[in-house]
């Protein structure tokens, strides 16, 4: 298996623009997680999907952020409009099981820079 | 609120010089404590899960231990390839609960 696939790997955009990050989880995994990593706050969960359904979105910072999982093999995280404080590395992770307790497999991340 | 504090923030060792990384935590009803390794430019990679005080797990030169308040990641005779950031996370409660991560310890092992 190729592991969790994320695209793009790097994104540079200007404030106010829409940004869409993409993730393909490991085949057979039914849990998908979007995380954000910054130097100050470390790794934080944004949203969790189980069987394509959003279960916990309490970490989504504000309405500018939205996430979808239209099927078991694809998810998107969208920021509209983007702001400089959104600059961070965004990781997608997948695992099997509903509780978040099992090993999570992380993708390589998308480094987002908002100018 | 669940909290994780890792120390030191950074650690520099000579090859072969054993040491320990600390993860102190507060959590309501610990379900699991997780250790991940993260290399620069990559996503975290799972190492261990510990479930109860007194439990220990080993993998090559790494051994993780757990008490009711903290976990240690012991590195025995480290090699340069052990250089990475080591992340600790806790999960508590029941049902789905998110992992709460510490900010990590950056380990550099010099040859």
3 state SS for B20-89:
EEEEEEECCCEEEEEEEEECCCCCCEEEEEECCCCCEEEECCEEEEECCCEEEEEECCCCHHHCEEEEEE
> What pLDDT score was predicted for residue A29?
94
Q: CB-based contact (8 Å) between B97 and chain A?
A: yes
Do residue A103 and residue B102 have CB atoms under 8 angstroms apart?
Answer: no
Closest B-chain CA to A47? B98
B42-93 pLDDT, tens digit per residue, is 999 999 999 999 999 999 999 999 999 999 999 999 999 999 999 999 998 7
- Check if B102 contacts A (Cβ < 8 Å): yes
What pLDDT sits at residue B74? 98
pLDDT in tens, chain A (115 residues): 689 999 999 999 999 999 999 999 999 999 999 999 998 899 999 999 999 999 999 999 889 999 999 999 999 999 999 999 999 999 999 999 877 778 899 999 999 999 9
> CA of B4 to nearest chain A CA: how many angstroms apart?
11
Please give the pLDDT value at position B98.
Answer: 85
The helix, strand and coil proportions of chain A, stated in percent and rounded to the nearest 5, come to 5, 55, 45
Q: What is the pLDDT of residue A60?
A: 95
Helix (H) or strand (E) holding A106: strand A105-106
Q: Do A108 and B41 touch (CB under 8 A)?
A: yes
- B46–A104 C-beta distance less than 8 A: yes
Nearest by CB to A99, which of B44, B46, B96? B96
Confidence at residue A94, expressed as pLDDT on a 0 to 100 scale: 96
> Which among A48, A50, A98 is the nearest to B98, CB-wise?
A48
* Tens digit of each residue's pLDDT (9 = 90 or more) over B93-108: 777 778 999 999 999 9
- pLDDT of amino acid A1: 65
Measure the CA–CA gap between B17 and A28, rounded to whole angstroms: 41
B98 CB neighbours in chain A (<8 A) are 45, 48, 56, 59, 100
Are B101 and A43 a contacting pair at CB < 8 A?
yes
8 Å CB contact between A101 and B91: yes
* pLDDT tens track for B9-41: 999 999 999 999 999 999 988 999 999 999 999
3-state SS assignment for residue A96: coil
């Amino acid at each position: 298996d190729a592991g969790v696939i994320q695209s793009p790997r790097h994104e540079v955009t200007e404030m106010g623009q829409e940004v869409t990050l993409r993730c393909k989880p490991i085949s057979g995994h039914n849990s998908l997680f979007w995380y954000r990593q910054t130097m100050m706050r470390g790794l934080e969960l944004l949203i969790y999907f189980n069987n394509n359904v959003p279960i916990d979105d309490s970490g989504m910072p504000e309405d500018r952020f939205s996430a979808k999982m239209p099927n078991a093999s694809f998810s998107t995280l969208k920021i509209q409009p983007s702001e400089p404080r959104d600059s961070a590395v965004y990781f997608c992770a997948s695992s099997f099981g509903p509780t978040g307790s099992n090993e999570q497999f992380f993708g390589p991340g998308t480094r987002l820079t908002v100018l | 609120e669940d909290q994780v504090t890792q120390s030191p923030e950074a650690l520099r060792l000579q090859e072969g010089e054993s040491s320990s990384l600390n993860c102190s935590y507060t959590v309501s009803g610990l379900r699991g404590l997780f250790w991940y390794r993260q290399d620069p430019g990559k996503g975290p990679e799972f190492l261990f899960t510990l479930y109860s005080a007194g439990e220990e797990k080993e993998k090559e030169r790494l051994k993780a231990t757990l008490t009711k308040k903290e976990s240690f990641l012991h590195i025995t005779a480290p090699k340069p390839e052990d250089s990475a950031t080591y992340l600790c996370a806790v999960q508590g409660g029941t049902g789905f609960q998110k992992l709460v991560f510490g900010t990590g310890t950056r380990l550099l092992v010099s040859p």
